[in-house]
């Protein structure tokens, strides 16, 4: 019998709030880049309404409005990079395992080269070479991120293409496209979905890390990473400038990881058998 996990509902709500903020922020009357010198480093207060709920930064900008803008940036970078890397990595891994031979050996060598470098260090190097900016951050993280999908897809396809239903399809004269899209790819989707989910959490941290180092999102555009960087200079007198974006990062990453764990358990065939019993 499946256990109920009340904490999972909490993490689901966190993710739903994150997604909701991304959708409604463009239509809200927020001005995250509005400078007000009279409000510099003011602590959280209700005196200025909702915009002052989480205080103001070193330029008098509303922290809560910049958090809303940063949520959109984190979402777009994380999901954009994960989706592009998923498409590229899945295609490369699938073709590598399906074609085999020289192409497989060549692609495996390329994957090994990328795996030899820590992903975040390679992303830092690429961002440093291309320069800061959201476009370059996405490119750098895609270059690093496709490898995991390619490796996973290749391993899955190597196992699946030896199964009887694939051999039967080949014997019946099915085309390569039919074999790939009807008999192989559907069986690879589940582990890829799990990989995609965990990748989101890693990409949120990676984007924040690059922005913190000055290699990611640049001012005046807000990002949770560059908010922590800017607020770290005033940590002793205005700790809310670091605590608030850091708490947002913590909640989002923890929630994504917890949802990923639950999804992995749900899609696990052994767990499925246990639930049916």
Tokens of 218: 């640049």
* CA distances (Å), origin 72, targets 24, 44, 79, 92, 136: 10, 22, 11, 30, 17
Q: Residue 236: how many CB atoms within 10 A of its CB?
A: 6
d(CA 55, CA 41): 7
d(CA 115, CA 149): 12
Please indicate, yes or no, if residue 27 is contained in any of the structural domains.
Answer: yes
Give the number of domains in the chain: 1
pLDDT of residue 107: 92
**What percentage of the chain carries pLDDT values higher than 90?**
42
Read off the pLDDT of each residue in 154-180 and give the average, rounded to a whole number.
83
Cα dihedral sign, 21-27-33-39: negative
pLDDT of residue 273: 46
Given a cut of 70, whether residue 70 has pLDDT beyond it is: yes
Given a cut of 70, whether residue 275 has pLDDT beyond it is: no
Higher-pLDDT residue of 276 and 266 is 266
pLDDT of residue 27: 86
Please indicate, yes or no, if residue 196 is contained in any of the structural domains.
Answer: yes
Q: In whole angstroms, how large is the CA radius of gyration of the chain?
A: 22
Q: pLDDT tens digits, residue range 126-165?
A: 988 888 888 899 999 999 999 999 999 999 998 888 888 8
Please indicate, yes or no, if residue 109 is contained in any of the structural domains.
Answer: yes
Phi-psi region of 143 (alpha: psi -120 to 50; beta: other; left: phi over 0): alpha
**What percentage of the chain carries pLDDT values higher than 70?**
94
Tokens of 65: 């409005």
Please indicate, yes or no, if residue 28 is contained in any of the structural domains.
Answer: yes
d(CA 93, CA 151): 6
Query: What single-letter DSSP state applies at residue 184?
Result: I
b/e 190-211 (16+ beta carbons within 10 angstroms → b): bbbebbbbbbbbbbbbbbbbbb
Query: What single-letter DSSP state applies at residue 42?
Result: P
Mean pLDDT taken over the chain = 87
Given a cut of 60, whether residue 56 has pLDDT beyond it is: yes
The CATH number given to whatever domain includes residue 96 is 1.10.3720.10
Q: How open is the CA angle 269-271-273, to the nearest 5 degrees?
A: 70
Please indicate, yes or no, if residue 120 is contained in any of the structural domains.
Answer: yes
Cβ contacts of 96 within 8 Å, gap of 6 or more? 103, 104, 107, 108, 150, 154
pLDDT of residue 6: 67
Query: What single-letter DSSP state applies at residue 132?
Result: S
Please indicate, yes or no, if residue 250 is contained in any of the structural domains.
Answer: yes
pLDDT of residue 177: 82
252 touches 74 (CB < 8 A): yes
| Beta-bridge partner residues of 56 | 62
Q: pLDDT tens digits, residue range 34-51?
A: 898 889 998 888 888 888
Given a cut of 60, whether residue 3 has pLDDT beyond it is: no
Burial of residue 96 (CB within 10 Å: 0-12, 13-18, 19+) is buried
Given a cut of 90, whether residue 268 has pLDDT beyond it is: no
Please indicate, yes or no, if residue 268 is contained in any of the structural domains.
Answer: yes
d(CA 43, CA 52): 8
Range of the domain at 81: 6-276
pLDDT of residue 184: 86
Please indicate, yes or no, if residue 1 is contained in any of the structural domains.
Answer: no
Given a cut of 50, whether residue 2 has pLDDT beyond it is: no
């Amino acid at each position: 019998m499946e256990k109920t996990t009340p904490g999972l509902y909490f993490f689901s709500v966190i993710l739903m709030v994150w997604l909701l903020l991304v959708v409604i922020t463009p239509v809200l009357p927020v001005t995250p880049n509005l400078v007000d010198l009279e409000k510099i480093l003011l602590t959280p207060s209700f005196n200025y309404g909702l915009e002052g709920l989480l205080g103001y930064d070193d330029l008098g900008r509303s922290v809560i409005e910049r958090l809303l803008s940063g949520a959109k940036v984190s979402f777009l970078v994380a999901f954009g990079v994960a989706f592009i890397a998923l498409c590229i990595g899945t295609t490369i891994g699938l073709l590598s395992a399906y074609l085999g031979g020289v192409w497989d050996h060549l692609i495996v060598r390329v994957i090994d080269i990328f795996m030899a470098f820590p992903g975040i260090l390679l992303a830092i190097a690429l961002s440093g070479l291309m320069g800061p900016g959201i476009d370059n951050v996405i490119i750098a993280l895609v270059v690093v991120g496709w490898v995991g999908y390619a490796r996973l897809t290749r391993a899955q396809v190597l196992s699946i293409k030896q199964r009887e239903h694939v051999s039967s399809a080949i014997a019946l004269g099915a085309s390569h496209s039919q074999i790939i899209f009807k008999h192989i790819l559907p069986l690879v989707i589940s582990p890829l979905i799990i990989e995609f989910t965990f990748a989101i959490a890693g990409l949120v941290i990676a984007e924040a890390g690059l922005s913190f180092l000055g290699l990611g999102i640049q001012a005046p555009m807000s990002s949770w990473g560059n908010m922590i960087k800017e607020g770290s200079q005033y940590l002793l007198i205005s700790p809310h400038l670091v605590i608030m974006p850091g708490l947002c990062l913590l909640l989002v990453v923890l929630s994504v990881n917890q949802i990923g764990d639950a999804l992995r358990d749900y899609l696990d065939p052994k767990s499925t058998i246990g639930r049916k019993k």
